[in-house]
Amino acid sequence: MEWFDAVPFMIGCADAAHQVEGNLVNDWTVFEETHPEAIADRSRSGIACDTYHRYEEDLDRLAALHGNAYRFSIEWSRVEPHEGVIDAKALEHYRKVIAACRERGIEPIVTLHHFTLPVWLAHRGGILASDVPYAFARYAAACVAALGDIVTWWVTVNEPNVLAVMSYLYGYWPPQEHSLPKTVHAFAQLARMHAAATVAVRDVAARNGWTAHVSFAHHVRPFQPANPMLPSDVAAAASMDWLFNSWMLEACRTGRLLPPIGRGEEVYGLRGSLDYLGINHYTGEEVHLTLRGAEVKPRRGYPLTENSLAIDPLLFESVLISAWDTYHLPILVTENGVADRTDDLRPAFLEDHLHAVQRARANGIPVLGYCYWSLLDNFEWHEGYSMHFGLFAVDRTSLERTPRPSAETFSRIAGEMAGERVPIVPR
Ligand code: BGC
């Protein structure tokens, strides 16, 4: 029996420190202040959902919905506010959050880097700084040393592909670059960060006799040609698919920075760096190549979310199937969700996507868990507070949380699936 056969199904919600905790000082808070025009509703993350203080009541909400898993991130800028200086009190806070999870029968899934950086690091080049893998590993080691006795599931980096593209190619996010060479460099650096952190997590856990399962959270967004009869569309979709969806996974499989990001250089710790595969999935897109470059649009014929993403649960199922067929790693859905303020789409979205997970499991694919993004409406990066992913709406003045009808849908399905042990029959 493989180790993952014994894992009771985890179902819960995901969030990230910057989006919910409130009152942070990091590269993003500086960006929000200096570039108000870059945020759709000109909001600042500010107090966010004040989850830093209200985590217990929010964990009560999650537990009341039969959630038994909570993915959240540790904020690097709290833990290492000055270079090389670890704040033990900050780690103590996260220990309390994890203890509060455990008291409620909720499995913590802990992310070490979810898009934000301490200001000192941003000032010296952010993820492009040559020693960032070392700095990240040092911070990761401090987190595991402080929390590894009560955390089993670790996520090193959230969505390296999204971060590289949004920050260095499209320039929506700090440091707002529009540079292909820097995007390439960012991909390579994020692979090195993931590798270095994985080594650190495993090392500290092994020295202490703790169990640690490590992955990064991979955003999978399949691209298909807008016109499958046009070779240019086919080629554009295939190359985007390779870089965005496959490159990082192949780097972890081979241990090398493969073209076009590298020339096959080996990265210490990268090969075999995944104990499981964290998958974030929201949508797929169509690609049309024009003289001005690739036009990327939502797939036609599907309902659209508040942020114009096509909803297709069958695509989600095919992502799970092909990830398992290609990598043979147990899968943890670290994010899946829908922006839908009026809650017209969310109940069916949850039904359909969780049924896809059930079918995949029944067909022998070891899907270990599912984290809905997100329990609460939160700060949606350059979209500010204008997107509503929450099972609970959050009043921006009182911060009062109000369940949307879909919270009930989630609760019903989570009640059936939480803790389920489906014998995974190898395909
Ligand atoms: C990110 C989250 C974000 C979510 C919804 C994911 O790509 O990891 O931080 O809030 O998508 O857009």
Residue nearest to atom 3 of ligand 1 (CA): 380
Peptide bond into 426 cis (omega under 30): no
Q: Report pLDDT for 1.
A: 44
Count of structural domains within the chain: 1
Q: Which of 328, 190, 317 shows the shortest CA–CA distance to 262? A: 190
Q: What is the CA radius of gyration of the chain?
A: 20
Is the Cα torsion angle 29, 35, 40, 44 positive or negative in sign? positive
Q: What is the DSSP letter of 310?
A: B
Indicate which atom in ligand 1 lies nearest the CA of residue 378: 10
Does 165 sit in the ligand 1 pocket, CB within 6 Å? no
Lowest mean pLDDT among 117-121, 158-162, 290-294: 290-294
Q: Give buried/exposed letters for 333-342 (b at 16+ CB in 10 A, else e).
A: bbbbbbbbee
Does 335 sit in the ligand 1 pocket, CB within 6 Å? yes
Q: List the Cα angle 283/246/151 in 5-degree steps.
A: 80
Between CA 48 and CA 290 the distance in angstroms is 40
Indicate which atom in ligand 1 lies nearest the CA of residue 16: 9
Does 162 sit in the ligand 1 pocket, CB within 6 Å? yes
Indicate which atom in ligand 1 lies nearest the CA of residue 381: 10
- Work out the average pLDDT over 389-398: 98
At 225, list the tokens: 């040609």
Percent pLDDT > 70 in the chain is: 98
Which class for 228: exposed (0-12), middle (13-18), buried (19 or more C-beta within 10 A)? exposed
Between CA 203 and CA 195 the distance in angstroms is 12
Work out the pLDDT band at 2, boundaries 50, 70, 90: low
Instruction: Name the residue of 170, 173, 279, 381 whose CB sits within 8 Å of the most ligand 1 atoms, as the mutation to test its pocket.
Output: 381
Which class for 238: exposed (0-12), middle (13-18), buried (19 or more C-beta within 10 A)? middle
Between CA 31 and CA 176 the distance in angstroms is 10
Q: List the Cα angle 212/188/285 in 5-degree steps.
A: 90
What is the extent of the structural domain holding 327? 3-417
- Work out the average pLDDT over 1-16: 85
For 398-426, what is each residue's pLDDT tens digit? Answer: 999 999 999 999 999 999 999 888 655 55
Does 158 sit in the ligand 1 pocket, CB within 6 Å? yes
The CA 299 to ligand 1 mean position distance, Å, reads 19
Instruction: Name the residue of 158, 220, 244, 373 whose CB sits within 8 Å of the most ligand 1 atoms, as the mutation to test its pocket.
Output: 373
DSSP H stretches of helix in 8-87: 17-20, 27-34, 51-64, 76-79
Q: Which of 323, 331, 322, 320 shows the shortest CA–CA distance to 278? A: 331
The CA 137 to ligand 1 mean position distance, Å, reads 24
Per-chain mean pLDDT for the chain: 97
- 112 in Cβ contact with 143 (< 8 Å): yes
- Work out the average pLDDT over 283-310: 97
Residues taking part in catalysis: 159
The CA 370 to ligand 1 mean position distance, Å, reads 15
- Work out the average pLDDT over 159-168: 98
Work out the pLDDT band at 427, boundaries 50, 70, 90: very low
Check whether 331 has a pLDDT greater than 80.
Answer: yes
Q: Which of 332, 345, 339, 277 shows the shortest CA–CA distance to 308? A: 339
Instruction: Name the residue of 157, 221, 380 whose CB sits within 8 Å of the most ligand 1 atoms, as the mutation to test its pocket.
Output: 380
The CA 115 to ligand 1 mean position distance, Å, reads 10
Indicate which atom in ligand 1 lies nearest the CA of residue 217: 8
Indicate which atom in ligand 1 lies nearest the CA of residue 162: 7
- All residues at 6 or more sequence positions from 383 whose CB lies less than 8 Å from its CB, including other chains: 39, 40, 41, 307
The CA 364 to ligand 1 mean position distance, Å, reads 28
Give how far Cα 284 sits from Cα of 302, 325, 334, 367, Å. 11, 19, 17, 20
The CA 209 to ligand 1 mean position distance, Å, reads 33
66: CATH: 3.20.20.80
The CA 2 to ligand 1 mean position distance, Å, reads 31
Does 306 sit in the ligand 1 pocket, CB within 6 Å? no
Q: Report pLDDT for 211.
A: 95
Q: Is residue 427 part of a domain?
A: no
Q: Is residue 424 part of a domain?
A: no
Residue 144 identity (one-letter amino acid): V
Strand 331-336 to strand 401-403: parallel, antiparallel, or no bridges (unpaired)?
unpaired
Does 58 sit in the ligand 1 pocket, CB within 6 Å? no
For 216-234, what is each residue's pLDDT tens digit? Answer: 999 999 999 999 999 999 9
Q: Is residue 231 part of a domain?
A: yes
Does 78 sit in the ligand 1 pocket, CB within 6 Å? no
Q: Which of 343, 336, 345, 340 shows the shortest CA–CA distance to 317? A: 336
Q: Is residue 368 part of a domain?
A: yes
pTM above 0.75, yes or no: yes
Check whether 64 has a pLDDT greater than 60.
Answer: yes
Find the distance separating the first CA and the last CA of the chain, reported in whole Å. 14
Between CA 126 and CA 166 the distance in angstroms is 14
Q: Report pLDDT for 7.
A: 85
Residue nearest to atom 12 of ligand 1 (CA): 380
Indicate which atom in ligand 1 lies nearest the CA of residue 219: 7
Does 340 sit in the ligand 1 pocket, CB within 6 Å? no
At 398, list the tokens: 């009182």
3-class secondary structure for 357-407?
Answer: HHHHHHCCCCEEEEEECCCECCCCHHHCCCCCCCCEEECCCCCCEEECHHH
Does 75 sit in the ligand 1 pocket, CB within 6 Å? no
Return the half-sphere exposure (C-beta side, CA atoms, 13 A cut-off) of residue 244: 21
The CA 283 to ligand 1 mean position distance, Å, reads 12
